[in-house]
Amino acid sequence: MKLIKIFIVVGARPNFMKAAPLIKALKKYPSFKLRLVHTGQHYDPEMSASFFKELRLPKPDTCLGVGSGTQAGQTGKIMIEFEKVCLKDRPDLVVVVGDVNSTLAGALTAAKLGIPVAHVEAGLRSFDRTMPEEINRLVTDQLADFLFTSCEGARRNLIKEGRPEAKIFFVGNVMIDTLLNHLRLAQKSRMLEQLGLKKNHQIRKYALLTLHRPSNVDLPIVLQRIFQALMELAREIPIIFPVHPRTLRQIRKFNLFQFVSFQENLKHIQKAQFQGKMLCLPPLGYLDFLALMSQAAIVLTDSGGIQEETTILGIPCLTLRKNTERPITIQEGTNRIVGNDPERILKAARRVLKSRILRKKIPKYWDGKAAERIVKILKQQLKS
């Protein structure tokens, strides 16, 4: 039996959640020989190591250790190191997921070496080229030989860009595979009790916030205005804010501590003191974050993946951006675009808290079986 060598490239937190169900599904077939390549784009324990443990991901076969850097610098470092790996043990296929720099670098390196590329989560478009992720998506999809999409709109985007229909496969959403596989386990998390949000099986109403996009956190006036709106909201409902390392650097740089209350050690929380401020936590593991998200009254975010997860959970989501590459979460899910205007954020949040937005329906193939569909297609296509 001829083994088919597949390299799966991961590098940042969202990649791990998308790769986990793929690895599990691929391991069912002895004809596939897997190699997990971790670029090191996210390298600290909270953003990487804890996810490997909780998602039961195998230890990476190769760690490139590129670390942080500029867009070009980080992408270039990954390409240089990944090329060495590909030349040494040439794979039959390189699988990349999502839209981070590791995705683009993996696809570019493989394509230049004549190695077929599969892109999981292809075809998503915000139509905003000021977003680095949008450039990563566009270029990766032009290089990929297998384009695995999570919604019908993604297929239409790819067709408009001239990609052959024979290369496009509508399989569903691997992020949702991971969520559905771990939801019961996340319910065992004691994070709500630690924060004083759950007592005697009664859950106190609270909001959950994530914020990390450069358009929101890199300009002091923008970040300050968002924080002013959210501090006002925090007087009405507790806001839990697991802080991304990038955002924490900007809070320190711009001296915005008047808006936040820090809880630096999760292990010694007695009962959180909110005091009308956002309660900042260190980055959380997957299960603790999922536990908080699944019970929130409302989620405010600029993350694409969270828009999808709240859609499945039926949790109202306000996206603090002017656009989204996941319009299906608005058309069929619980997501609303509110931008970063303080008045609009407050108005929308209060409307949700007064009359909860109900889920419309679950998008097609967001059923926990996307990875299985991908692997069946690869088995058939690579065999032929």
Supply the residues annotated as catalytic.
Answer: 212
CA distance 18 to 312: 16
Of 238, 151, 230, nearest to 197 by C-alpha is 238
Helix 101-112 to helix 132-143 angle (10° resolution) is 30
Mutual orientation of helices 304-313 and 13-26 as an angle, nearest 10°? 60
> Which of these, 313, 291, 273, 325, lies nearest to 131 by C-alpha position?
325
Q: Are strands 317-319 and 298-301 parallel, antiparallel or unpaired?
A: parallel
The four Cα atoms 195, 272, 308, 223 give a dihedral, to 10 degrees, of: -170
The DSSP line for 252-287 is HHHT-GGGEEE---GGG-SS---TTSEEEEPPPPHH
Instruction: Cite the DSSP H helix spans in the chain.
Output: 13-26, 49-54, 71-88, 101-112, 132-143, 152-160, 174-186, 191-194, 214-217, 220-234, 245-254, 286-295, 304-313, 328-331, 342-354, 370-383
The rounded distance, in Å, linking the Cα atoms of 194 and 267 is 8
For the four alpha carbons of 217, 221, 225 and 230, in that order, the dihedral sign comes to positive
Nearest Cα neighbor of 282 from 262, 302, 252 is 262
